[in-house]
Amino acid sequence: MATRFPTFFNTALSSSQSSSYLVRTTTGNLYAVLLSNNGRVVEVYKSLDNGSTWNRVDYSNSPVALNTIGLVTVAIDGSNNLHIIAAATSGTSVIYIKFITSTDLFSSREAIPNSASSFSSGSIAIDSNGNPHVALAISGSNTVRYNNRVGGFWRPVPVTVGSPTAPTNVDIQIDQNNNPQISYINTAAANGATVALGNKNNASSFTV
């Protein structure tokens, strides 16, 4: 699971990124996913010495967004590859980016279908087969949306999860049965926190 970078690392690496996430490979290398250039460029940094020094990798192929990115998050799979989602603050689709750590190169960039909307948070998790699963809290339509890339392509229509009011703090994890579980905060509910359980790996519905 990704962990937010401490502020002092943000300052050391770049003065303009608005989000950063850190993962560690099974070989012990650290990777940080950052935003720079006023939040319009997704950058990947690598450390071979437990965070003492950092180098930006695949500089020339860093994905550039047309609008300011308001969301970036990353998960790592069993082959040590990075799976990144990034979304502009409004008007464009959420972008999925894969980064191969064995070559330190970006390998793909895809728009997740029907993901353009006003969002408050997002999360990505990887199942045991290396497939990404994504959850987005859509504040503009009071929904949480789920999508995945099971079978080699994204669902053309995402699955709606619950009917929260102004959802936020969404998170997605894969359980011991390889099924997605989503949690989020329903800001209008008395207890606030909600967990939704997917019915299968390629989930078509969630039990709230």
Report which of 48, 53, 54 is spatially closest to residue 24, judged by C-alpha positions.
Answer: 48
| pTM of the full structure | 0.86
**For position 157, what pLDDT does the model report?**
86
Q: Helices in the chain by DSSP H: which ranges?
A: 7-13
Which pLDDT score is estimated for 11? 37
pLDDT of residue 7: 38
Task: Quote the Cα angle for 30-35-78, to 5°.
Answer: 35
pLDDT at 12: 42
Taking the C-alpha atoms of residue 88 and residue 7, their distance in angstroms, rounded to an integer, is: 22
Q: Is 188 helix (H, G, I), strand (E, B) or coil?
A: coil
pLDDT digits (tens, 9 = 90+) for 5-50: 443 344 344 433 445 589 999 999 999 998 776 667 888 999 999 9
* pLDDT in the model for residue 38: 63
Cβ neighbours of 148 (radius 10 Å): 25
pLDDT tens for the chain, residues 1 to 208:
444 444 334 434 443 344 558 999 999 999 999 877 666 788 899 999 999 999 999 988 887 765 666 678 899 999 999 999 987 655 567 889 999 999 999 998 888 888 766 677 889 999 999 999 999 887 667 888 999 999 999 998 889 887 777 788 899 999 999 999 999 988 776 667 889 999 999 999 999 8
pLDDT at 34: 84
